[in-house]
Structure 1
Amino acid sequence: MVDRVSTRDFAFLSAETPQTPLHNATIEIFEPGESGFDYNRLVELIRDRIAFVPRYRQRVQFVPGHIAAPLWVDDEKFDLAFHVRRSALPRPGSHAQLLELASRIVSRPLDRTRPLWEVYFVEGLEGGRVALLSKTHQALVDGVQTVDLGQLLLDAQPKPREFEPDDWQPRKAPAPGAMVAGAVRDALTDGQTVVNTMRGTSRALTRSVDARTKRARSVVGALTGRRPKSRGVISGELSQQRRVVTVETELSDYRKVRRTHGGTVNDVILATVTGGLRSWLMTRAESMGGIKQVRAVVPVSVIDEELQATSLGSQIAAHFVDLPVGEASPVVRLHQVSYSFQAHKETGRSVAANRLAGVAGFAPTTFHAIGSRVAADELRRGYQLSVTNVPGPQAPLYAAGAEMLASYPVAPLVSGHPIVLSVTSYNGGVFYGITADRDLVPDADLLGLCIREALDELLEVSSSGRQRAPRGRRTTSGQSKPKR
């Protein structure tokens, strides 16, 4: 049976450009201890478990003439050593050096002629620690047939789970003539094949026209001396280079703020992001520029039979929230964010954080991948920022006996959006990953510092004993809260 690339996955493949490589990444830090966790152990671990994600041994095969959507076919030359790579920092490698390495790696598109994933084993970190940097294309992880490989590599106990040996043998890819015949047959028996092909082709043509239009505008601007209008402080034309920034905080701090001012941990995290954005924008040359709100898309987990089913027990939907960066009071910012999620909670579709954290394996890697897909689908709705927050297990996890100390998500950038934020909570920590365009956002590290300071500000007002502002009542800042 032909395994044809789905409409949605074909759209991601068609939309990808050198400026917008569409892969999700994760940086995980491990303490090897006495486990002997090294590159060879990692290769063996992946070899033992890759059978649970067959697509990780398949590549994309385009049909001659592009008369139909491409196929997923087994990679007859599959080489695990190509996908699992070894790297090192000069000892003792700092966290900043690790992020610089990660920035270069996530800037590079994946090889389309091979299965669309890579894992880097990075040695030489200070304290004898090691890091895993995984990179997986959006078209590979849909949460339906395929979850992220990172979800399968971690165990709840230091002793790894044992599995039956894998005797996988690749199936031979169909010949070009057979692919054309299959495409014609599918077109005659399944109209959706034609629709899928037209959608993918139209996206490619639109992208080509847009690129030519941009080049023409650049030439006209150079000849006339006209400069293109600024699209704002967090938008613009992307380069091919990325910058990765991380922030590590404590989950107990968010819970403390929640106990004082109400809401949820997710509300406090988004209020922290809002405060960080506010401070960061105020440091830039453009200042706030009259900005009062930043429109953000926040993928959320829901129970909705009308959405695409996933193997994670829930569906992922887009929720839009206006982050009040123009509000000076951290407490008012928190309540405005909390209020925006109240209607979603009252629909009965929302899924509790502890349920997500209880999904088998380290599910945040898969949830982040699906969240990035959802954000990409919503581009036409005009948001400015994507923020994905995924709760993970609150107990230590292990890879081949080595304890995972931290997990930083690294989401891809989409056209016109030079910043994206992702958050994972794990084992008492809350880990931020900021992906930024290196040219448009050279001060991305300052944004990370502002996020940390925004959390400190919330903690300070929580410790001072200030009471939360009632809804519908005027606050000390002179702004009134919206009424339900």
Structure 2
Amino acid sequence: MHKLSLIDLGFFLAESEASPKHVGGLMICKRPPGSRAAFVGDLHREFLTFTDVEPPFNRVIHFSLTGMPTWQEAESVDLSQHVFYHRLRRGKNGRRELYELASRLHQPMLDRSRPLWELHVIDGLSEARFALYLKMHHACADGVTMMRWAADSLSRAASDLEVRPLWSIRHRTGEGKERRLKDKMAQSLLGELAGAGKLALGVGRLAGMLLLESVKLTKNAISLPFVADGNTPLTGQVTAGRQFATAGVAMDRVSGIRTRTRSTLNHVALTCLDGALHRYLRDEGVDLKRPITIQMPVNLRKEGEEGAGNKIGFVQVELSPPTDDPYVRLRNIGFSLRNVRSMIDSVAPEAIESYTVLTSLVGLLTEKLNLSNRLPPTGNTLVSNVPGPSEYLYVKGARIDELHPISTLPPGNLLNITLFSYAGQLFFGLIATDELPNLDRLSEYVSEAFTELEQSVLDAFKPSA
């Protein structure tokens, strides 16, 4: 049996038919040159032959009235309930139809009586392409872990034709190392006291930072939760129905901006999102006078630490005060992120986890009581960044040209945005409820905001005559 962390448990407690808590990834692949039309169907049938299922893909969640839920290994796994085949019709097989199908597949909850994952093989995409859509419960893995597992199962060269489905290979879950460390700590009273003291110190320091921020004695040490403007289309009671859109820019263009401005990928990406969101909100009749506040996951794993489940925290980050100058927006966001990074580095990871549990609990209660349309949200939206492989990956000789993240919606947010870097591209995956208007327009504004930032930086660093 394997116990859940509080954060993993929270994903189950927050889950509902209107707001399922799984994460996904959409891989758009090009069939190998000279391959038969039956290539994708053959691949699906080959997937079904890998019936030896490794942890954590063979685990079922078990709820008990007397204790915490636990993961238990299933006696058997019927792959026909986890691996599915779809075919798009000719004339209805473009990107729009693919995204519509992915949205429908992403909408329903996973069946808790089975291991909580699915793989959908999508045939018939235009231009000799096909897609793979992977879906897994957030309590099983965070986005970084899920991407690592997927990459472990794929090939680095087109010549490598071996099929290694991610459920059939032994993954590095890190559980043995974590369990040994916990056992050692449990035997040491001094270790327990030291851990409790470190947590108390971290929580106290974090509370102090929030207090100073609330009385305006600091600026962006960490943005306050539940102060974001709730009168926008971005927030409210999460409802069933999903829509999906993407944007993408070349990483060499991102690097050009980073080099000139000494900024990070997050600085650049959030600047584009900030500009796009303000423009989108103006289109919808909302002219914000204060900065947009995002929820941002932070990885709390130590360097080299691996494991299943989640080890992340969520903090609130203020983006830029409204401005029409993209370069000024970039500088403002850089200032905010540097302050937040300093705050995170100054407290124990356990303190960030505790803060995350408390703020998430408030959001959860608000959503469960159907009050999300009345009370302020934790933030205007959630933005996360999942680093991916820098080189192309392959499945049975088929190159994966694009890899798009599809996340879950937190309580009170009708939009979630995930960044994913892969093979020289930075992809923006936008998942939203059906109630959010004009999602495609927002994705177009992300690309346009990047071009505007690029030009603004060139102008700012243009040599004087």
Using the size of structure 1 for normalisation, the TM-score is: 0.69
Displaced runs of 4+ in structure 1, greater than 6 A?
Answer: 143-148, 162-168, 373-377
Q: How far apart in 1 are the matches of 2:100 and 2:11?
A: 27
- After TM superposition, the structure 1 = structure 2 runs for residues 144-159 of structure 1, keeping only pairs within 5 Å, are 149-158=149-158, 159=160
Residue in structure 2 matched with residue 460 of structure 1 by the alignment? 455
* SS in structure 1 of the partner of residue 448 of structure 2: helix
Are the equivalent residues in 2 in contact too, given 1:144–1:309 (CA < 8 A)? Answer: no
Residue in structure 2 matched with residue 471 of structure 1 by the alignment? none
Residue in structure 1 matched with residue 27 of structure 2 by the alignment? 28
Residue in structure 1 matched with residue 413 of structure 2 by the alignment? 417
Residue in structure 1 matched with residue 191 of structure 2 by the alignment? none
Q: How far apart in 2 are the matches of 1:244 and 1:20?
A: 15
CA deviations on 1:380-404 (whole Å, 9 max, x unpaired) are 4822221111222221111122111
Residue segments in structure 2 that go unaligned for 5+ positions in a row: 171-228, 347-353, 364-377
Is structure 2 residue 333 aligned with structure 1 residue 331? no
Residue in structure 1 matched with residue 400 of structure 2 by the alignment? 404
Which amino acid is 2:280 matched to? W
Residue in structure 2 matched with residue 364 of structure 1 by the alignment? none
Which amino acid is 2:290 matched to? K
* SS in structure 2 of the partner of residue 127 of structure 1: coil
Residue segments in structure 1 that go unaligned for 5+ positions in a row: 169-228, 351-372, 469-484
Q: CA RMSD for the aligned pairs?
A: 3.7
Cα deviation, residue 112, structure 1: 1.3
Residue in structure 2 matched with residue 366 of structure 1 by the alignment? none
- After TM superposition, the structure 1 = structure 2 runs for residues 291-330 of structure 1, keeping only pairs within 5 Å, are 291-301=289-299, 310-311=306-307, 316-324=312-320, 326-330=322-326
CA deviations on 1:195-250 (whole Å, 9 max, x unpaired) are xxxxxxxxxxxxxxxxxxxxxxxxxxxxxxxxxx9743321112111111111221
Q: How far apart in 2 are the matches of 1:325 and 1:103?
A: 33
Change (3 A) 1:167 1:259: closer
Cα deviation, residue 155, structure 1: 1.8
Are the equivalent residues in 2 in contact too, given 1:45–1:400 (CA < 8 A)? Answer: no
Change (3 A) 1:230 1:40: same
CA deviations on 1:256-294 (whole Å, 9 max, x unpaired) are 222333311221111111111111111003x21x43211
- After TM superposition, the structure 1 = structure 2 runs for residues 140-219 of structure 1, keeping only pairs within 5 Å, are 140-141=140-141, 149-158=149-158, 159-160=160-161
Which amino acid is 2:43 matched to? R
Which amino acid is 1:84 matched to? V
* SS in structure 1 of the partner of residue 57 of structure 2: helix
Are the equivalent residues in 1 in contact too, given 2:156–2:392 (CA < 8 A)? Answer: yes
Q: Taking every aligned residue pair, what percent have the same amino acid on both sides?
A: 26
Cα deviation, residue 316, structure 1: 4.1
* SS in structure 2 of the partner of residue 54 of structure 1: coil
* SS in structure 1 of the partner of residue 89 of structure 2: strand
Q: How far apart in 1 are the matches of 2:386 and 2:8?
A: 23
* SS in structure 2 of the partner of residue 390 of structure 1: strand
Q: How far apart in 2 are the matches of 1:375 and 1:393?
A: 29
Residue in structure 1 matched with residue 15 of structure 2 by the alignment? 16
Are the equivalent residues in 1 in contact too, given 2:20–2:109 (CA < 8 A)? Answer: yes
Is structure 2 residue 278 aligned with structure 1 residue 282? no
Are the equivalent residues in 1 in contact too, given 2:121–2:133 (CA < 8 A)? Answer: yes
Are the equivalent residues in 2 in contact too, given 1:418–1:436 (CA < 8 A)? Answer: yes
Residue in structure 2 matched with residue 58 of structure 1 by the alignment? 59
Q: How far apart in 2 are the matches of 1:303 and 1:79?
A: 33
Change (3 A) 1:232 1:399: same
Q: How far apart in 1 are the matches of 2:340 and 2:145?
A: 28
Q: How far apart in 2 are the matches of 1:145 and 1:272?
A: 26
Residue in structure 1 matched with residue 117 of structure 2 by the alignment? 117
Change (3 A) 1:316 1:238: closer
Change (3 A) 1:374 1:402: farther
Cα deviation, residue 150, structure 1: 2.1
Cα deviation, residue 167, structure 1: 12
Are the equivalent residues in 2 in contact too, given 1:91–1:124 (CA < 8 A)? Answer: yes
Of 129-138 and 76-85, more deviation after overlay is shown by 76-85
Are the equivalent residues in 1 in contact too, given 2:7–2:357 (CA < 8 A)? Answer: no
Q: How far apart in 2 are the matches of 1:47 and 1:378?
A: 44
Matched residue count:
378
